[in-house]
Structure formats: structure tokens, C-alpha cells
Amino acid sequence: MFNKKEVTSIIQQALTEDIGPGDWTTLWLIPPGQKNRAAVVVGQSGIIAGLEIAGMFFEDHQFKTLVKDGSEVTKGQAVAEIFAPTRVILTKERTILNFMQRMSGIATLTRKFVEAVEGTGVVILDTRKTAPGLRILDKWAVRLGGGQNHRFGLFDMILVKDNHIKAAGSITKVVEKLKKPARGWSRPRADGPWAQALGRKNSKNLDIEIEVENLEQLKEALKLKVKRILLDNMSISQIRKAVRINGGQASLEVSGGVKLENVREIAKTGVDFISVGTITHSAPALDIGIEITNA
């Protein structure tokens, strides 16, 4: 899923935002020819992510990773070494850490959810609740934490939610329209780099998932032979009933109200997937710093 061109664009935009016309503090204090060694050090235990991104800031200089992205790290551990012009290190430091801290925080929280459901066979998924413009990095971090990606955007999967159903009239009408698009319309294509990364070449390969809010909607969807169903904001008892009603007919995903405290209980109901918005929209940043070591 690493799209270097897109990530390079994200990095450049972030540097432009931070540096503007110039890092006057560094330019004033540090002579052009000075070089330093520095270490990337974690300030708390967790899962490291974003080292490959950090390396892209130093492609013309020396950047050595000491661990791999996705590795478990402990407080005080050095995860990378840098040897570069001091001006480059100081000017890019904050931007590098912003990426790494966010990605590592997401990876760390994701790993906690993955470990919480270990042995149940349930897959932890992310959602589209990502930072605008940083989705590729947020979802990359989820993978490094051991989770899997749900759809990347509105273009690579058909996910029918409550407002689609209300606008269309019913789940039955939704399925009918998906089977036979209205005149003048065609099923959306899934072309481009995302489709290539996902192994999908055209609209025929798009997955279809229907969101249901209660057991009656579930029964309606099953009668229509829907193969993937999202149980939205259901209680544990409702989820158990849904699993019994489903009887293995469709893949079941749970979304809404999922926390570390209840995710294992949800997983043990027998569902297939659990999507967790928290891992990308509310993951606390991991404490990471860059420390100048010597000249």
C-alpha cells in the first residue's frame, strides 16, 4: 500500500506548512557546513511506525533504522540514527516527529485491540475516520499494528449505510438498484493506484456490504442473499441474536461502541470483523524525540 509519490507529496506539503519562507532560528544560529549525528529515541513503550517515512526526509543523507516498522519498542530505546547537516535535522525535526508520533500511536492502539481479540479469529478493521489528507499514513499504521484496512475511500467498496437506505426507501430497494443500476448510470469503477494496490481492476470486483441497525433489517438483508452485513451500534445481546439468525449465511461486521473493555466480548459472539474508529481518530501520540548526539 506504499505509494511513494503520494507520500512524497504529503511530506512536501507538511514541510512547506512548517518552514514557510525559512527556519530563521536555525539559519541564524547554525553555520551551513555543520553536520551532526542524531538519534530517534522513543519516550514510552509501544509499536514504532513511520521510520520509513522519516527515512524519506534524509534520502540525500545518512539515515539508519535500528528496528523495523511495526516492532515493539521500549522507553529510552533508539530506533534510528541520523548523520546529516545540522540545519536539515533541526528544520525537519518537528515534521518528522509529527508523522512518527501519530503513526506510532495508531499502531500501538491497534495492537492493543488485536491482542484483545487474539484466539477468536476476529479481524480488527479501521474506518474512514482518519485525519484529512493523511489517510494513507493512518491506514498504513493500522497495518503495522496488526489490524487490517476496511475501504480506503468511497471508491473501492460499496457500503450501504442508514442514510442510503432511507434515501432509497428500504434495504430491498437498495439491493434491487445495486443489481440493476438506473438508466444512464453505470456501476462505479475501481481503477487507479488504490485499485491496483487492492488487486481490483474494475467495478465487478467491488465488495458490497449493507449496514443494518436492528434484527428485522438483518433478516431482510439475508433474504436478499447479501453476503456481508454490518451490525451498527447493536448491544452484545443483539449481536449474539444476529449471529444465531445469520447462521453463517453472511460475513458479519460489528461497528459502533467498540472499546478495549468490550471488544473481546464482542469477538466471542462469533462475528467475523470488528471495525474500530477509535484507532485512527483518537489514538494518543507515542512520545518520540530526536536528540543531537555529537558533531
**Tens digits of per-residue pLDDT, 50-65?**
999 999 999 999 999 9
Alpha carbon distance 267, 290 (integer Å): 39
Active site residues: 94, 129, 161, 211, 232
On whether both 170 and 97 belong to a single domain, the answer is no
**283: closest CA among 251, 260, 253, 255?**
260
User: To 5 degrees, how large is the angle CA 31–CA 37–CA 40?
Assistant: 120
Question: Domain with 182 in it: what CATH number?
Answer: 3.20.20.70
> Residues 12-58: pLDDT tens digits?
999 999 999 999 999 999 999 999 999 999 999 999 999 999 999 99
Assess contact for 90 and 26: CB atoms under 8 A.
yes
pLDDT, residue 86, reads: 97
The model carries a pTM of 0.90
| Domain of residue 79, CATH code | 3.90.1170.20
3 state SS of 133:
coil
Reported as a pLDDT band with limits 50, 70 and 90, residue 177 is confident
Q: Are residues 150 and 172 in the same domain?
A: yes
Which pLDDT tens digit goes with each residue over 89-125?
999 999 999 999 999 999 999 999 999 999 999 999 9
Distance, in Å, from the CA atom of 1 to the CA atom of 139, rounded to the nearest integer, reads 9
- Cell 542524531 belongs to residue: 38
Q: Beta strand 78-85 with 62-65: parallel, antiparallel or unpaired?
A: antiparallel
Is the same domain home to 133 and 212? Answer: yes
Q: What per-residue confidence (pLDDT) applies to 181?
A: 55
**Using CA atoms in the order 105, 111, 117, 120, what is the torsion angle rounded to 10 degrees?**
140
Phi–psi pair at 133, nearest 5 degrees? 85, -10
Given a cut of 80, whether residue 203 has pLDDT beyond it is: no
* Distance, CA of 130 to CA of 148 (rounded, Å): 14
Domain that holds residue 169: 114-281
Q: How confident is the model at residue 295 (pLDDT cuts 50, 70, 90)?
A: low
